[in-house]
Amino acid sequence: TPSTNDRTALLTDWIQKHLHAKLTTFIPNHWHGDCMGGLSYLKKKGVKSYANKMTVDIARKKNLPLPEYGFTDSLTIKLGDMNIHCYYPGGGHSTDNIVVWIPSEKILFGGCMVKDMGATGLGNLSDAVISEWPSTITKVMARYPDAQWVIPGHGAFGGKELLLHTLDLLKNSSINNNGIRSAMQQPASKVAITESEKTLDSQWKGKRVAFLGDSMTDKRRVGTTCIYWEYLAELLGVDPHVYGI
């Protein structure tokens, strides 16, 4: 789901109005807010939710809304004429991340363990299992060789090249078994702004501007080459006040 109940309500309304479909089933990829932040709204709407038992256990410990049904290793759900396969391949972006496979459509939902082709880093590593992540991706590739469409947690969908790209990012990163800290200590360099790009007479100059977000507000610059608030502060002369979510 989106990260809040309000945004989840907007999404479900859009699905109903524009796709003429009713949301009946929800399967979060893992426990983070960008996956199940709108779960309480969906539960009120009577939407059934299925998740890795590890996800349910973590949500319980953190006093988060709980998915209704938990599974261990794998689960197959019937949705109309389609079989929906849920599978836990191991740790990666988080300890509990799963993938969802729709064989009739050859669609693989990889979630946040899979990075889009535009990703230059591994993103949020606060709950990552670095030592398992490469083998987890390899298991997914071996289990679903017929996947034609791969959908990451963020960014544009593609094909199996997204899985290979994620492996390359893991291989080329400075991360090792003790390496979450070292990755954070070797952030991407700042994007340079030329004098000609700056807006000298900006109406925003000196104004206090609040930025809310996740990776775009990350001062450590992990997984991104451009921090948007920093870019605008230099471009327009705003006084940024940054809050991570």
The yes-or-no answer on residue 93 being catalytic is yes
Catalytic entry in 112, 116, 165, 218? 112
Catalytic entry in 106, 139, 154, 160? 154
What tokens does 171 get? 């291989």
What's the rounded Cα separation, in Å, for the pair 84 and 49? 13
Catalytic entry in 35, 52, 93, 218? 93
Catalytic entry in 115, 116, 165, 218? 115
The yes-or-no answer on residue 112 being catalytic is yes
What's the rounded Cα separation, in Å, for the pair 213 and 206? 21
Catalytic entry in 29, 32, 35, 86? 32
What tokens does 93 get? 């972006």
Catalytic entry in 29, 52, 97, 124? 124
What's the rounded Cα separation, in Å, for the pair 135 and 235? 42
Catalytic entry in 34, 96, 116, 218? 34
The yes-or-no answer on residue 30 being catalytic is yes
The yes-or-no answer on residue 18 being catalytic is no
What's the rounded Cα separation, in Å, for the pair 232 and 34? 25
Catalytic entry in 29, 30, 86, 218? 30
The yes-or-no answer on residue 5 being catalytic is no
| Rounded alpha-carbon distances, angstroms, from residue 81 to 24, 102, 142, 145, 163 | 14, 11, 25, 22, 28
Element (H, E) at 54: helix 53-61
The yes-or-no answer on residue 127 being catalytic is no
The yes-or-no answer on residue 198 being catalytic is no
Q: Which residues are catalytic?
A: 30, 32, 34, 93, 112, 115, 124, 154
